[in-house]
Structure 1
Amino acid sequence: MGLQCLKIIVHGQVQGVGFRYGTLQIANRLTITGTVQNLSDGTVKIIAEGNHSSLEKFIHLIKTGLTPFARVANLQIEELPPYHYQLFMIK
């Protein structure tokens, strides 16, 4: 399958715990492009682009919390049209 793009809203204890940096490291390891940013409601928004297999692994790793202090309660996942990001960055 070709390029897939997902918007992932992460709920839980995910701000101020290194979650965005951990997300960046995992994305780079899996060659996923996109962005990660804190939202004002305490959630984190991830736009992740890659192949289906890499995105499945990425979602699995996101659910684990990425850092010892992060606690992921829920993920909201929505498919978006591909944007063709060149890299993964923290906003």
Structure 2
Amino acid sequence: MEPHCLKIIAHGLVQGVGFRYGTLQIANRLTITGTVQNLSDGTVKIIAEGNHPNLKEFIHLIKAGPTPFAHVTNLRIEELPPQHYQLFMIK
């Protein structure tokens, strides 16, 4: 079965609060592959690839904030063609 791939832009207090590292931990726990990186506008871009149930749980946990210091106000999500990542990494 082909994995689903999502591009997620996280808005809010998402830089300087361990957001990328927390996202990496959640992705590894849910066997999600892809990348997470800070963008110059203060948002964080996540490319997440995996099966539908795991991606749904991943989005739920990211929305709640992957660290106690993060505060996510909005997630902009779009579907991408599968990228076939082998692991999840911080850029």
SS in 1 for 2:47: strand
CA RMSD of aligned residues (A): 0.8
TM-score when normalising by structure 1: 0.98
In structure 1, the residue matched to 2:90 is 90
Give the drift of 1:5: 0.1
Q: Which residue of 2 aligns with 1:15?
A: 15
For 1:47 and 1:57, the matched residues in 2 are separated by 15
The aligned counterpart of 1:71 is 71
1:39 matched to which residue of 2? 39
Task: Note the alpha carbon deviations across 1:9-41, whole angstroms, 9 max, x for none.
Answer: 000000000000000000000000000000000
Q: Secondary structure at the match of 1:28?
A: helix
Mapping of residues 43-62 of structure 1, within 5 Å: 43-62=43-62
Write out the 4+ residue segments of structure 1 that deviate beyond 2 Å after TM superposition.
Answer: none
The offset of 1:2, in angstroms, is: 3.4
- Provide the residue aligned with 1:29 in structure 2: 29
Gaps in structure 2 of 5+ consecutive residues? none
Q: Which runs of 5+ in 1 are unaligned?
A: none
Residue pair 2:2, 2:82 contacting (<8 A) in 1 also: no
